[in-house]
Structure 1
Amino acid sequence: MLRAVLSLFGCAKPPAAFKERNYKPESEDAKTERSPEQPGVFELAYSLLKAKTEALLANDQALLSQEYNSLLDCDVLETVEAAEHTNNAGKNRYVNVLPFDYNRVKISGEDGQDYINASLVQSAANESPSWCYIAAQGPLASTVDDFWRMVFENNCSILIMLTRTVENNHIKCADYFNQRPGETAKFGAYRVTTTDVQEVSPDITKRTLQLELCTTQEVHEVTHYHYHRWPDFGVPESTEPIRRLVRILWQNRSSCIQQTTVVHCSAGIGRTGTLMAIDVILRRLWAMAEQGASSGPAEVSAAVDLPAVVHSLRKQRKGMVQTLEQYYFCYEAVLHEMQELTGRGSGDSAPANSSGNGHIIAH
């Protein structure tokens, strides 16, 4: 049985028949009425992922390492000439994390100064539900003006921050907004005012920011989510906060097709790529469930094909999902969400053969 289940996991393209609709959990009556011979999307996804994670962690995690390392063979060698240009080199936080020329985000500027370390990362043209992000590095003190210009010019209304400004005594991101409501800061041509602060959870702070272009007084509202307990190069102790954040994103996007969301950590690849991978897979499953049509194991397997998702992300920004632990955390988060949705528990119990905190065993 395990072999049959695992044979469904390949690098198939995601199904192209999903609908963009707002997800609502099934009622208990609907669950009761479903025939046992026709398991729903969440039941199928849970069974597939449970078998997959158990196999990945077997034999000292041999299959997990093999699957993750195989993605290195898929690395795309695109040009990064703009990022390496003499005028732009100082705008990069890390010399080895650079946006590709073909999909780098461009901002307006005098004398052709259109560079910022950010990449447009999006779904294929025929993929549904569609998704679109700007993956960015945490702004430097010298690039905060450019960062807000990017947000303003791309009309981005959701901004996700996955790092603290200082971690392990190293600056990971410049201060680009004020913490408390009522405070205003000016960055070049932009004025940023914090109008509201809410603690979504102990891990996530939601802020409403008013972004104003001073020359025209045009105002743009940005909802800022700061997930401030995700360690650099590591993973959180629980998948619940990241799943909560992804659910919030799904609800916020329901009325906006192909809305672009800015996501950044420090480099814009590790924590940023991990959140995106989890978000993409859960959006697929929620959309399939909302569509209501029967989906078989092959369709669900394609929807949760993590290697294909990570490969798609890395084709658009090198190094997305930076570590083996972050890669497995993607599997954990989706499995835990399916576990919760199918009534099998709260969602953060550790899979078989994993360490006590639910993550892979470090060697």
Structure 2
Amino acid sequence: MAIKPQAKKSPNTKTNNNKRREPDQRVSEEKTAINGPKSKAMPAKKFASKISISTDKKKSSTELKPKKSHSTMKTAYESDTFEEKNKDKEKEKKKKEKWSGEEAAGKFVKSIESVNLKEEYDEIQKMSVQAERCKIWQAHSSRNRNPDYKCYDDNRVIVQMCKSDYINGTKINVPNFAPLVYLLQLPKMETADAVEEFWRVIFHEQCQSLHIIARPDEMQSPEKLFAQEPGGYLYANGFFINTRKVEKKDTAKADLYVVELLPEGCSNSVMCSVYVHTHWRQFAGPDRFSPPLKAAQQIAKNENPNSPTIIASTNGAGRNAALLSLAVIIDQLAKGKEPKIQDIVRTIREQRPQSVDSFPQYLNLYLTTNHLIKSKVPGNDDIQKKLKHFNEKAAHFVPSSTMKQPTEES
């Protein structure tokens, strides 16, 4: 059914609003509009007079800038004061925060007052190498750099997917030390098989951190291990080593290389950060305290618990074992445990013969630990005094020609 439109009202109807109203009706409506009906009390509208309007205009012309109310200004002031108080509290909190290793450090500092470092190291040197545990090492003598640095068969690192499964490397297990660490000998650079085996281990173990401790004259041809410039690559027996990033340091800090490892025919690569420590001479301590401390802290932090950290040095048991020892010391202090350096070194040497292979290296473990403690508790005068006394006495243990005592520069 169609809807019919309604007819429009004629303009002449009585309901037309434009129709002139009678005077009496208009007066009545005006009164109602002003006073309102009795049932609804509407407030009367006030209209400003001409005089007041002109006065307001004059005031507004002179007061162009708006002013903040007192309440707003007070709130902003209180907010600033609150933030300042919070900052002060944070500073005080940091001052009051006690290093987790402070108590253990105090015990360590007290114990070294009576320690005889030479006797301690001589006891370590008496540890014999068990030749019957080195048969595989003996069978691969062509792969070993030094006949005096053996590795045991039962805890050796095994190479996967290679012609030979041998590499001069050891898996180290330190009680209550979570990070998994391998101590490796640097491969013979002139042998492509040895270079491939080295990188195969890192690829197969998904290793993300590699520390190499060797002077430039020891490395001889580092480009035979990996390209030294970004964008360069090395091809070793079907194994690609691509250098993606290079950060060389002018100071004693470690140079950083990021390499991508990719076996031929494999689609998934492994990225590894390679830290090259060139300022650490054989049979001696590093030239600076901070770089080995930083490296040891990184190892102890154990950011990648599912993959090992590899520490390699020329012979595979001296400086790299010293760096591992330092990482264990840092870990124990952080846990509030007094580090027994002799016990730590003995534990590592039981698994890797000749670990920490010189007295200057052993002495440097104490000096570096002292440097760490000194920086952590600067306000403890008693500890500072004892550390200074020990360091002065320790400087006379070895001739300057054998060991250059590290500076305290960062």
TM-score norm. by structure 1 comes to 0.75
User: Whose RCO is larger (CA < 8 A, sep 6+)?
Assistant: 1
2:331 maps to which of 265, 268, 283: 283
Identify the range of structure 1 (257-266 vs 47-56) with the bigger mean alpha-carbon deviation: 47-56
Does the CA contact (< 8 Å) of 2:205 and 2:307 recur in 1?
no
1:228 counterpart = 2:281: no
Give the aligned partner of residue 71 of structure 1. 124
Q: Which amino acid aligns with 1:309?
A: I
> Contact 2:238–2:264 (CA<8 Å) still a contact in 1?
yes
Aligned with residue 343 of structure 1, among 378, 387, 394: 378
The one of 122, 125, 134 equivalent to 2:182 is 134
1:82 alignment counterpart: 136
Alignment partners' CA distance in 1, 2:225 and 2:374: 38
Deviation of 1:117 after TM superposition, in Å, equals: 0.6
Question: Can you give the 5+ residue segments of structure 1 that lack an aligned partner in the other structure?
Answer: 1-26, 57-62, 289-294
Q: Which has the larger radius of gyration?
A: 2
The normalised TM-score by structure 2 is 0.67
Per the alignment, residue 210 of structure 1 pairs with: 260
Spell out the pairing of 1:1-363 with structure 2 (5 A cutoff): 29-30=92-93, 32-33=95-96, 41-56=100-115, 63-75=116-128, 77=130, 79-85=133-139, 88-109=140-161, 113-124=164-175, 127=176, 129-141=177-189, 142=191, 143-167=194-218, 171=220, 175-199=224-248, 202-203=251-252, 204-251=254-301, 253-254=302-303, 256-257=304-305, 259-286=307-334, 288=335, 300-301=337-338, 304-344=339-379, 351-352=388-389, 354=391, 359=395, 361-363=397-399
Please tell me whether the aligned partners of residues 258 and 273 of structure 2 are also in contact (alpha carbons under 8 angstroms).
yes
Contact 1:107 1:146 in 2 (8 A): yes
Mapped to 2, the partners of 1:177 and 1:351 lie a distance apart of 43
String of CA shifts for 1:273-293, please: whole Å, max 9, x gaps: 10000011102222x2xxxxx
C-alpha RMSD over aligned residues: 2.9
- CA offsets, 1:100-152, max 9 Å, x none? 010011113566x211111111223xx2x412111011110211111111111
C-alpha distance after superposition, 1:280-313 (max 9, x if no partner): 1102222x2xxxxxx5xxxx22xx0111111110
Superposition deviation, residue 164 in structure 1: 2.6
Q: Which runs of 5+ in 2 are unaligned?
A: 1-89, 400-410
Q: Distance in 2 between matches of 1:176 and 1:103?
A: 25
Amino acid in structure 1 at the alignment position of 2:172: V
* Partner secondary structure for residue 231 of structure 1: coil
CA distance in 2, matches of 1:323, 1:232: 9
Q: Distance in 2 between matches of 1:80 and 1:223?
A: 31
Deviation of residue 174 (structure 1)?
A: 7.7
Change (3 A) 1:360 1:181: farther
Q: Percent identity?
A: 20
